[in-house]
């Protein structure tokens, strides 16, 4: 993990999201899909904690070498401030943080399922899988067309794509998980990756358990420190020997987990989290509003 003073190379609006590209070679060189960065808030503000966002792109070669990109929704005080940032300003950035996705050694057909800004993390993953000779198919969605993150880029990095929106404004009306059974059979999915809300991740976990398909999920969890000190982002995960469970930290032991070992009933009951929300927005969220 590195802490750097990163210059903003560009900022743009992408549907309901903001996308920032930073010059941060120390982080970009080490970044892997599923990892995230922590952005410090300015001194003198009424909110102190960093905001955490999945890495969407990390360029190590070519004209964009040394840059990384992340995306967020400007729906909290911190994110609103970040959304007002402009090119050539500087941000205090920590990263890359967290445990990344693992790449399959022998399996080749990879199905990626994402909803909302979870697509940002999986687009990065899709590029890395393709570079390793894997087949990539994707299911993505959002509440509206504007909430589907970069659908053109999704089509570019995957063999086939199913797009679903809650209001039917783009693709098929529905949620991404509704397309999972048919898509998995159609593409011969051998491994499934997912990122998005807990409801989506749980549905993916149940499907993959029933069909004996290995899977990995990147959780969206509230965070305070991002480095494992505060235990604000714990996820209940069964031990490998089945002797019990541990509350693992999403920022250190995650955010990528084996969904077959997550205690979904216990974790789903933990909504909302116990951390207080100050007036005007969420204090700590990873990739993730606020």
pLDDT of 213-238, one tens digit each?
999 999 988 888 888 998 989 999 99
Q: Which among 211, 225, 206 is positioned nearest to 264, based on CA atoms?
A: 206
| Rounded (10°) CA dihedral 67, 71, 76, 80 | 60
CB atoms under 10 Å from CB of 240, counted, come to 8
pLDDT of 159 reads 96
pLDDT digits (tens, 9 = 90+) for 170-179: 999 999 999 9
Q: To which residue do tokens 């996308």 refer?
A: 19
Percent of the chain scoring above 70 in pLDDT: 91
pLDDT of 290 higher than 60: no
Q: Which among 151, 146, 220, 284 is positioned nearest to 138, based on CA atoms?
A: 151
Instruction: Give the chain's domains with CATH numbers.
Output: 2-97 (2.40.30.10)
pLDDT digits (tens, 9 = 90+) for 3-46: 999 999 999 999 999 999 999 999 999 999 999 999 998 876 56
pLDDT of 273 higher than 60: no
Contact predicate 53/70, CB 8 Å: yes
pLDDT of 44 reads 62
Which of the two residues, 77 and 120, has the higher pLDDT score? 120
Angle at alpha carbon of residue 42, lines to 233 and 50, rounded to 5°: 10
pLDDT of 275 reads 38
Q: To which residue do tokens 């693709």 refer?
A: 171
Q: How confident is the model at residue 269 (pLDDT cuts 50, 70, 90)?
A: confident
């Amino acid at each position: 993990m590195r802490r750097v003073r990163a210059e903003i190379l560009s900022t743009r609006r992408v549907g309901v999201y903001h996308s920032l590209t930073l010059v941060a070679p120390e982080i970009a060189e080490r970044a892997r899909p599923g990892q995230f960065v922590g952005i410090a808030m300015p001194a003198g503000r009424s909110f102190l904690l960093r905001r955490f966002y999945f890495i969407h792109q990390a360029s190590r070669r070519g004209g964009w070498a040394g840059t990384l990109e992340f995306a967020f929704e400007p729906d909290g005080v911190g994110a609103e401030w970040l959304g007002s940032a402009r090119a050539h300003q500087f941000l205090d950035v920590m990263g890359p943080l967290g445990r990344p996705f693992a790449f399959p050694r022998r399996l080749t057909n990879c199905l990626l399922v994402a909803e909302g800004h979870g697509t940002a993390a999986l687009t990065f993953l899709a590029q890395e899988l393709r570079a390793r000779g894997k087949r990539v198919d994707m299911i993505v969605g959002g509440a509206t067309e504007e909430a589907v993150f970069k659908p053109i880029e999704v089509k570019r990095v995957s063999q086939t794509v199913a797009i679903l929106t809650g209001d039917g404004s783009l693709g098929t009306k529905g949620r991404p998980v509704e397309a999972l059974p048919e898509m998995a059979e159609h593409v011969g999915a051998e491994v499934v990756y997912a990122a998005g809300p807990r409801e989506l991740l749980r549905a993916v976990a149940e499907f993959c358990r029933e069909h004996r398909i290995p899977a990995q999920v990147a959780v969206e969890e509230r965070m305070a420190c991002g480095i494992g000190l505060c235990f604000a982002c714990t996820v209940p995960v069964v031990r490998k020997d089945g002797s019990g469970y541990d509350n693992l930290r999403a920022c250190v032991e995650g955010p990528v987990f084996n969904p077959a070992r997550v205690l979904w009933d216990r974790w789903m009951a933990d909504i909302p989290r116990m951390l207080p929300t100050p007036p005007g927005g969420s204090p700590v969220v990873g990739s993730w509003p606020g």
